């Protein structure tokens, strides 16, 4: 089983970015943890971060036919990007949306997601642990499919 983790804008700054909100784990640590967990679950995972909407769309398009499931924290693009939504729907790969923070407990503009209604599920509010929870949920979903 091949998975892809998509990290959107500003997530490259995790560890130093608003640590009270997003915690102190760096993106490198989060990716290393995802790879360890993936190994334990006997799945493969690639991780990709970009601050650019088009680069995220390109990476999602490249996954078509090669990837079984996607973990996506699109950062602020979650709340703005029809292009990322369209890319995820175009490749027709099941995805889990996740966030470190509980977006529903924050500003009103973070309450809407362009991705959530077509996601397998959404995990938010558990800090860096959201990634591991999302990975487990996605793998369980994919394994349960007929």
Which residues of this protein are in contact with ligand DQA, per CB under 6 A?
A: 10, 73, 75-76, 78, 99-101, 103, 110
- Closest by CA to 54, choosing from 13, 87, 89, 79, is 87
- Closest by CA to 53, choosing from 21, 25, 22, 78, is 78
Q: Report in angstroms how near the CB of residue 19 gets to ligand DQA at its nearest.
A: 13
Catalytic residue among 7, 77, 99, 114: 99
Annotated catalytic residue 99: yes
Complex with ligand DQA: residue 35 or 106, whichever CB lies closer: 106
Annotated catalytic residue 114: no
**Exposed / middle / buried, residue 133 (Cβ in 10 Å: 0-12, 13-18, 19+):** middle
Q: Report in angstroms how near the CB of residue 134 gets to ligand DQA at its nearest.
A: 11
Catalytic residues: 22, 99
């Amino acid at each position: 089983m091949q998975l892809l983790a998509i990290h959107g804008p500003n997530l490259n700054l995790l560890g130093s970015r608003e640590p009270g909100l997003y915690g102190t784990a760096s993106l490198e640590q989060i990716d290393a943890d995802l790879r360890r967990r993936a190994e334990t679950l006997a799945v493969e995972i690639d991780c990709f971060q970009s601050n650019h909407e088009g680069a995220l769309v390109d990476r999602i398009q490249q996954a078509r036919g090669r990837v079984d499931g996607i973990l996506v924290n699109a950062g602020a693009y979650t709340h703005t990007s029809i292009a990322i939504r369209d890319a995820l729907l175009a490749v027709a790969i099941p995805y889990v949306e996740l966030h470190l923070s509980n977006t529903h407990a924050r500003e009103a503009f973070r309450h809407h997601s362009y991705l959530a209604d077509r996601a397998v599920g959404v995990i938010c509010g558990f800090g860096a642990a959201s990634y591991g929870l999302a990975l487990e949920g996605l793998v369980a979903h994919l394994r349960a499919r007929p």
